[in-house]
A and B are shown apart, each in its own frame.
Chain A
């Protein structure tokens, strides 16, 4: 090595002046850019989600009266959330056949927060998002969209089927009174699920999650809305009407339970439960139905004695959408036993149209789905199901985060 290279010390000595000149140049550049940065920092900010749209009052009757029908519909939904057959969507094809409206169906929503983050800048700038229908879960982002005026008010005179066929549990929800901005696409329950083969005893209530026999085999959700709501149910409080002091008690219960928990999981909880890592877990009804149908026969979904959570994924029309009338036609078309039944027989969450049960049972001949209490819940189930707390403003949401995040992050 040394024979082909000069001594490093010599090299350094020879090159020193050049290096120092270069560093000085860099230093000067750096100084100038720092000064520029310091000057520009004062005007620096990240825009919030509150927009001027909230202040704009729209006369919705006039708005809907002057809309002209279009022949297009851009529908943004979650993956694997509509009936599919050979790469096509039969329910959407039926819609196109009947109305002549071509549907551009895009499975672009992976999660509420990132999707909201993606469309919010356009909505804030009063621009078209490119979607006529978006599907969002009731939660902070959905509330934000309604409060900020990012979504249209629906013309219910054009949604007669919703009034006629819609289930009681999807009408007039607390997060959107009178369904002014949204109608439900699918509903789901968050309860408990356990592995009958591995669990040393059956699970019936949240108090079982304090039993040391389950130590290291309990899965909880890392979504703090789900986790906090479970804590509230466990201490006997209805999450819908809870108060911040209840939240703190719920957090204390969850912290007491923490040493037994093996992890706080996202969607991966279902894998842990399927492969036996966890014996009991907080769970979404549709996942468990599909896991059982997929061969995991020893999984069992239970509604805890204290109650379970019910959530809704809702169709909404973003502001500046190009085809709002097409969106309303689809919503109305969906709320029929046939179409809701076609979708439900594939999706297996909770159907917003109770009459679809007969259609699935007699026309589609699929008693597994039609007779499942997880797809068509009975009145007793409805009574035990509670809605998430609706945050009135950011401060409340922050308070909730402050109370429940330390349970997950520790």
Chain B
């Protein structure tokens, strides 16, 4: 926001027809548009065009052999919801539930972590700890997840030890359960929650916490009524990043999941790559995007904050 204040003139400057003045004026007025051009081109090429082409492909009909032609075939949407052999609605709901659970897990784990780094660690360790939070990104996402599949497998180190200690029964599995998928999602996206919350915590003026204490706020009260509201924007940004990323993810469910954890991301992947049903895949993506849009819009209206732009 400060950038806007500095570059954009507040109010309209009177037109100046003195020599060179008009050109300078034009230059001054067009600068923000020119600066925004790259961003707009980015949005247009990488967001608007794919969005429209996705919608267009979903309205095609045909098959991979004869090709797909555009026929305004809206029935693909009703087919997905109503008379489909494959229960796509279940996959959609399952994907959203997993994403929501993973988001909650990242908040529960990520908030104390961010709080610790922001307030309890001396300044010279902060960068090192933040680097550790993002360290897992140095390894490919798929390989990281696959390593978990190895660690948590029935004959893997974790379950073998648990069974030997008689803490787990013979029939106890981790892999193939919804818990494994949610855990995988939360593990992979933890940094997306920690970093925005950390930024929000870091920005809190320590005098506010002192003020809260001066006003007889105990630790719980200070946390609930001062710190938490001030980090709302961080949590909000974290929820956006984690939830959106998890809702469409096919990797965790396929590597850590089993026969009852099939999610919408896998359905889209299979429709596109295995069955080459481009229209179904595009329709599923469009539905996912619309549903996510509605959820996030409602979420932003209910708990959104004004100062979200401070972070993003």
B1 is contacted by which of A11, A33, A261, A408 (Cβ under 8 Å)? A11
Closest to A44 in B: B70
Question: Do residues B270 and A277 form an inter-chain contact, with CB atoms below 8 A?
Answer: no
B259→A261 contact, CB < 8 A: yes
- Given A216-B171, A277-B154, also A46-B67 (CB < 8 A): yes
Q: Which of A233-279 contact B (CB under 8 A)?
A: 258, 261-264, 268, 271-272, 275-277
Cβ distance A304 to chain B, nearest Cβ, rounded Å: 21
The proximity string for A residues 342-353 relative to B, scoring 1 for CB distances below 8 Å and 0 otherwise, is 000000000000
Assuming the A-B contacts A11-B1, A263-B176, A277-B154, are A48 and B65 also in contact, with contact meaning beta carbons closer than 8 angstroms in the complex? yes
Report Cα–Cα, A307/B258, bound state, in Å: 27
Determine, out of B20-28, B85-93, B237-245, the stretch whose residues face the partner at the interface: B85-93
The answer for the CA separation of A401 and B84 in the assembled complex, in Å, is: 13
For chain B residues 40-60, which have a beta carbon within 8 Å of chain A? 40, 48, 52, 56-57, 60
Chain A residues with Cβ below 8 Å from B57 are 46
Q: What residues of A have a CB within 8 angstroms of the CB of B307 in the complex?
A: 8
Contact, CB under 8 Å: B258 / A1: no
**How near does chain A come to B157, taking the closest CB pair, in angstroms?**
11
Closest to B275 in A: A401
For the complex, give the distance between the alpha carbons of A114 and B33 in Å. Answer: 42
Q: A275-B150, A277-B154, A277-B175 in contact; A48/B64 too (CB < 8 A)? A: yes
Q: Kindly identify which residue among A41, A113, A277 contacts B155, using a CB–CB cutoff of 8 Å.
A: A277
A14 touches B52 (CB 8 A): no
**Residues of A contacting B251 with CB < 8 Å?**
none
Q: A48-B64, A410-B259 are in contact. Are A5 and B10 (CB under 8 A)?
A: no
> Is A50 an interface residue, CB under 8 A from the partner?
yes
Tell me the B169-200 residues at the A interface (CB within 8 Å): 171, 173, 175-176
Q: Which residue of A lies closest to B154 (CB)?
A: A277
- Bound Cα distance A18, B268 (Å): 41
In this complex, the member of A18, A42, A393 whose beta carbon has the largest number of chain B beta carbons within 10 angstroms is A18
* B306 contacts chain A at the CB level, 8 A cutoff: yes
Contact A44 B65 (CB under 8 A): no
Q: In angstroms, how far is the closest chain B Cβ from the Cβ of A211?
A: 15
Q: Given A6-B5, A11-B5, A262-B259, A41–B273 Cβ distance below 8 Å?
A: no
A1: chain B residues at CB < 8 Å are 203, 205
Does A37 interact with chain B (Cβ within 8 Å)? yes
The answer, yes or no, to whether B82 is at the interface (CB within 8 Å) is: no
Q: Is A56 an interface residue (CB 8 A)?
A: no
The answer to whether A5 and B1 touch (CB under 8 A), given A113-B273, A409-B270, is yes
Q: What separation, in Å, do the CA atoms of A33 and B255 have in the docked complex?
A: 41
- Cross-chain pairs A/B with CB under 8 angstroms, 16 sampled: A14-B11, A15-B4, A37-B56, A43-B70, A46-B57, A48-B68, A258-B259, A263-B257, A272-B153, A393-B65, A394-B63, A406-B86, A409-B86, A409-B87, A409-B262, A410-B259
Q: A41-B70, A263-B257 are in contact. List 7 more A-B contacts (CB 8 A).
A: A15-B4, A45-B62, A46-B57, A48-B62, A48-B68, A394-B63, A394-B65
